[in-house]
Amino acid sequence: MSQVFASTSPITGPGRALAGRDIQTLLLASLGGALEFYDFVVFVFFALPLSHLFFPPDTAPWLAQLQVYGIFAAGYLARPLGGIVMAHFGDRQGRKRMFTLSVFLMALPTLAIGLLPVYASIGALAPLLLLLLRVVQGVAIGGEVPGAWVFVAEHAPRGRVGFACACLTSGLTVGILIGSLTAAWINHHLSPAQVMGWGWRVPFLLGGVFGFIAVWLRRWLSETPVFAELRERKALSRELPLRTVLAGHGGSVVLSMAVTWMLTAAILVLILMLPTLVQKSFGIAPDLAFLGNSLAAFCLGVGCIAYGWLTDRIGAARALLLGSVALVAVTYALFADLAAGGSHFLALYALTGFLVGAVGVVPTIMVMAFPAPIRYSGISFAYNVAYAVFGASTATLIGYLAERAGRMAPAHYVAMTAAVSVVAALWLIVSGRERDSAR
């Protein structure tokens, strides 16, 4: 990993405060990201009705749920394709163009899912169409998330990169909160029959509208100063950016994949899948499960910002170390309480959401790991390949483990991924490679 963090400017070094233009960029990028991330994650909040509606009625409930989680996972498998292609053009032609294209590609399939006929209407074609649209969503989000992190990091002043990336990550988690609140409202106000009949379509139709609003919002963003300077100095990558990444920055790729695994597990298991898991494994009522999830998603957004603030003061590696250890402790506390009846479910789930905010440190680690000419491609490749491998396997593995290997299995999985992040953080601290290379 000799080429990780080659710059010499410490992330905690002095820098100007965020100016009005910086704040506007953060707000517009975060809001657009929230609307797009809502489109991507709302699928998992309606896994139960989708598992009944898009597969044969005689399918065993656990198998139908496993199959719909498999379709959910397909979106993760498609992420590298979108991420690599968009990142290539992002490094060669500009960050802003790809930043806008990704959200447009998300809006179309989300709207289409809300209009899909179900298995009772068109048979086996229904799950195939659902799978196809989910793959297109994966292509879109593969370019969106890395592009968003690069975009805000390159707009941020020195010494504020951690806070800027965490604010963007917080904005993405607002999309989870919107999805959770939508699911909670629908489950509270509609009967199960209404949800199965038409209620499940509402969040996808809203998501399509949200996506087109995000496209409009991004008209007001400007190209990043870092890319503009590279273009002016004719310092853009002369080779294929991805080839340069793989040939000379393998250590940065490995590091980025390692911390992405923790991010994947924390978000997927503790935020996206937990409302369904606690209903099936611990007997928590749907209303309470989604209320807890809404609290956790809100606290996650706050936690991301808190960890971003911490990153700019003590360094990304130390913030990641503290966050990973705290995440293990609170995850076991939450699952132990659930196993004992869940009397403290809401409070512990809210605290868990806040400490999952440690994922807000991950984009700063990755931004620092790659030089500007290949940054988009480096982050996109490492993040999306890791998310495809770990995200796809997590979605299906946790669904299986929760059914077959005991109710504490999801907690053990999260703890294992957090331990990997602890090792990565310790390596960065011991090797002295905490550097800010966003400029």
As a whole number of angstroms, the distance between CA 158 and CA 11 comes to 7
In a domain, 6, yes or no: no
Question: From the DSSP assignment, how many helices (H) and strands (E) are in the chain?
Answer: 21, 0
pTM for the whole structure: 0.78
Residue 4 clears pLDDT 70, i.e. is over it: no
* CATH number of the domain residue 377 falls in: 1.20.1250.20
Tokens of 341: 């009846």
CB 4 within 8 A of CB 251: yes
Which tokens is 224 given?
């990043």
- Minimum mean pLDDT among 6-10, 26-30, 149-153: which range? 6-10
16 pLDDT exceeds 60? no
Question: What domain range includes position 305?
Answer: 20-431
Q: Which of 137-146, 160-169, 217-226 has the lowest mean pLDDT?
A: 217-226
Instruction: Tell me the pLDDT tens digit for each residue of 33-78.
Output: 787 778 777 887 787 888 888 888 877 777 777 778 788 777 777 8
Cβ partners under 8 Å of residue 274, min gap 6: 289, 293, 296, 349, 410
**Does residue 439 lie in a domain region?**
no
In this structure, what token pair is assigned to residue 284?
Answer: 């928590």
Residue 413 tokens read as 């999985």
Question: In this structure, is residue 12 part of a structural domain?
Answer: no
Q: pLDDT tens for residues 289-323?
A: 888 988 998 999 999 999 999 999 999 999 999 99
Contacts of 13 (CB under 8 A, 6+ apart): 158, 159, 436
Q: Judge whether 307 and 363 are in contact, CB under 8 Å.
A: no
The CA-atom distances, in angstroms, between 180 and each of 136, 199, 289, 295, 380 are 22, 14, 10, 9, 27
Q: What is the mean pLDDT of the chain?
A: 82
For residues 31 and 23, what is the distance between their CA atoms, to the nearest angstrom?
A: 12
CB-based contact 86:236 (threshold 8 Å):
no
pLDDT digits (tens, 9 = 90+) for 169-194: 888 888 878 887 888 888 888 888 89
* Residue 14 counted as domain residue: no
Closest CA to 241 of 363, 365, 433, 83: 83
Is the confidence at residue 220, as pLDDT, over 50?
yes
Count of structural domains within the chain: 1
CA dihedral 49→50→55→59, nearest 10 degrees, is -40
Is 378 a domain residue? yes
CA 227 centroid distance within chain: 24
Is residue 374 a part of any domain in this protein?
yes
Q: What is the pLDDT of residue 436?
A: 47
Alpha carbon separation from 378 to 163, 228, 241, 395 (Å, rounded): 21, 19, 8, 25
Q: Is residue 69 part of a domain?
A: yes
Question: Do the domain assignments include residue 3?
Answer: no
DSSP summary character for residue 373 = G
